[in-house]
Structure 1
């Protein structure tokens, strides 16, 4: 389960955030992606301002890592760049070649490198099991040489697993999967497209021989969202049943694929809504909703099955 988005300063390292992590862990979760964002002004800006508000502080990140580990969770640290004017990060981009006087990929990667290496050092110091070096950077995905150079530098300061979270439908377009340890993507696929998309992704996994899981996946508890799970602004009334139907279909399709390692479901906020308000909440978090009960049952079942397999118990 993904926790903490968007990583706003002052919302981590609080009593509410601790309660949120405890509640998430109670749902059978055994891994969490601690996800926070740093801002750049526009999609053509070249400075990632990760030391400034509203990004969480280093102390808050360390608190979240330690709090998650104290609850038995393995941690993927997931620093993400966002655009302050609301443009989706997938549109961050520049000329294919550097032009004097114009913002460039070289300038942007220099600032982004500082952001990611800072996170890598924190992840190493706190024993994070995984680091995600980027998320849904569709235009930047083509910059294979710069990603390879960045990942090589990350490996000099971080000894855990490294992954990159490509966007939906991009799994077979990234050309530098060999540079990471684990392939991940955002699996916001329409409820009737799971088999076709998994067939396509399977070819990528087979070709590269790497583990795969969905770094993001899920569906708002909203009417119509199973057909448009990536559209967080889709009009529609609250519907826990719609979210449950999506979870059931997603789990069933993915369970049938032996190469599928799991999910970092989206998402669990640092400040939870009140339980009595769950039915009226139409966001992604499954807390207090039918999908939450389904998730707890399935994750608990999977953990017990894996424990039995590890201990050699009869099946």
Structure 2
């Protein structure tokens, strides 16, 4: 389960955050992605000021890693870049070739490299089991040489498992999967589309020879979301049953495919809503909802702990 998104400064390393993470661990969660975002100004900006607000501080990152470890969870550290004006990070992009006087991929990757390598050093120092070097960077995916160079530099700083989280439907478009240890993607597939998409992804996994898991997957608890699980702005009434319907389809589909090594579900906030408010909550978090109990039973069964 992903915890703490978007990593806003001041929301981690608090008693409230500690209680939230503890509630998550009680649901059979054995791995957590600690996801935090740095903000660049626009989609064509080349500076990523990750040291500045609103991004969590290094002290908050270390606190979260250690808190998760105390609770018995393995940690994937997941630094992500967002765009301050609300543009989705998949649209960050520049000319395919560097042009003097224009913002370039070379400039952007220089700044992104500083961000990722900084996270890699923290991941190494704190014993994180995995590092995710990027998330849903669709336009950047084609910059193969830059990614290979970045991964080589990451490996000089970090000795754990390296993955990249491509976006949904992009698994068969990334050309540098051989450079990472584990393939991962965002599995926000429509409730009736899992089998078709898993057939497609399976061909990618077989060709790569790499392990695979879904770094993101899940569904808001609102009417209509199972058909559009990636749309967090979709208008719809709260519905725990709709979220449960999606979880049942998702878990059933992936558990029938042994090559899917797991789900890193989206997501569990650092500021957790009260359990009594769960019925009116329409976000992805399954806490206090039918999907939360279902998830916990599935995870415990998956880990051989039984479902009682």
Structure-1 separation of matches of 2:305 and 2:23: 22
Match of 1:94 in 2: 94
Pair 1:219 & 2:219 matched = yes
SS of the aligned residue for 1:304 comes to coil
Structure-2 separation of matches of 1:99 and 1:259: 43
**Following TM superposition, by how much is the alpha carbon of 1:305 offset from its aligned partner in structure 2, in angstroms?**
5.4
SS of the aligned residue for 1:39 comes to strand
SS of the aligned residue for 2:134 comes to strand
Show structure 2 runs of 5+ residues with no match: none
Match of 2:235 in 1: 235
Show structure 1 runs of 5+ residues with no match: 307-315
Structure-2 separation of matches of 1:304 and 1:144: 40
What do the CA deviations read for 1:170-198 (whole angstroms, capped 9, x no partner)?
A: 00000000000000000000001000000
Q: How many residues align?
A: 306
Aligned pairs for 1:154-173 (under 5 A) are 154-173=154-173
Match of 1:251 in 2: 251
Structure-2 separation of matches of 1:96 and 1:267: 34
SS of the aligned residue for 2:122 comes to helix
Structure-1 separation of matches of 2:168 and 2:96: 23
Pair 1:18 & 2:18 matched = yes
Structure-2 separation of matches of 1:6 and 1:31: 18
SS of the aligned residue for 1:97 comes to coil
Structure-1 separation of matches of 2:141 and 2:302: 34
Match of 1:2 in 2: 2
**Following TM superposition, by how much is the alpha carbon of 1:303 offset from its aligned partner in structure 2, in angstroms?**
1.7
Structure-2 separation of matches of 1:305 and 1:62: 30
Q: CA RMSD in A?
A: 0.7
Match of 2:125 in 1: 125
Pair 1:30 & 2:40 matched = no
**Following TM superposition, by how much is the alpha carbon of 1:296 offset from its aligned partner in structure 2, in angstroms?**
1.0
Structure-1 separation of matches of 2:191 and 2:5: 24
Structure-2 separation of matches of 1:296 and 1:255: 15
What do the CA deviations read for 1:193-229 (whole angstroms, capped 9, x no partner)?
A: 0000000000000000100000000000000000000
Structure-2 separation of matches of 1:99 and 1:128: 39
What do the CA deviations read for 1:94-129 (whole angstroms, capped 9, x no partner)?
A: 001111111000000000000000000000000000
Structure-1 separation of matches of 2:274 and 2:118: 35
SS of the aligned residue for 1:85 comes to coil
Match of 1:269 in 2: 269
Structure-2 separation of matches of 1:119 and 1:292: 30
Match of 1:40 in 2: 40
Structure-1 separation of matches of 2:170 and 2:305: 32
**Following TM superposition, by how much is the alpha carbon of 1:304 offset from its aligned partner in structure 2, in angstroms?**
2.2
SS of the aligned residue for 2:200 comes to helix
**Following TM superposition, by how much is the alpha carbon of 1:18 offset from its aligned partner in structure 2, in angstroms?**
0.2
Structure-2 separation of matches of 1:261 and 1:85: 35
Structure-1 separation of matches of 2:305 and 2:242: 28
Match of 2:185 in 1: 185
**Following TM superposition, by how much is the alpha carbon of 1:300 offset from its aligned partner in structure 2, in angstroms?**
1.3
Match of 1:196 in 2: 196
SS of the aligned residue for 2:32 comes to strand
Structure-2 separation of matches of 1:214 and 1:162: 14
